[in-house]
């Protein structure tokens, strides 16, 4: 049974920061591509950022320069550092593990940006 456990969400004021974490219970974490997605109320889930096993990263235009994805293979954990948060960043954030044809999702963590 694969587990992806996200943490770090919460309520933050506009302009604030949060760091999300996703711990993965798989021994092949280091060779997987890890991604963060988000889903706002009434909207489809969409990609935020990803990081490959080799450390290549990319993010959607709306978060570039504000969000940073990183990984710690020794801890089987992927992170999403979110700075300069905006109300439109409010969503449930999910991490995804992908390797070959396998995909696993976390349960999601709520991020709310509001004054």
- Which tokens sit at 114? 């509001």
Residues (pLDDT < 70) of the chain are 1
Which has the closest alpha carbon to 20: 41, 33, 42, 37?
A: 37
The pLDDT of residue 1? 67
The pLDDT of residue 2? 74
Residue 1 CA to residue 37 CA, distance in Å, equals: 22
């Amino acid at each position: 049974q694969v587990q992806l456990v996200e943490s770090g969400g919460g309520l933050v004021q506009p302009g604030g920061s949060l760091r999300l974490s996703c711990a993965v219970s798989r021994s092949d974490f280091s060779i997987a591509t890890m991604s963060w997605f988000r889903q706002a109320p009434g909207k489809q889930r969409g990609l935020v950022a990803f990081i490959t096993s080799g450390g290549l990263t990319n993010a959607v235009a709306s978060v570039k320069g504000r969000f940073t994805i990183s990984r710690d293979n020794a801890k089987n954990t992927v992170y999403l550092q979110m700075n300069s948060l905006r109300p439109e960043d409010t969503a449930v954030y999910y991490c995804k593990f992908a390797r070959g044809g396998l995909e696993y999702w976390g349960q999601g963590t709520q991020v709310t940006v509001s004054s």
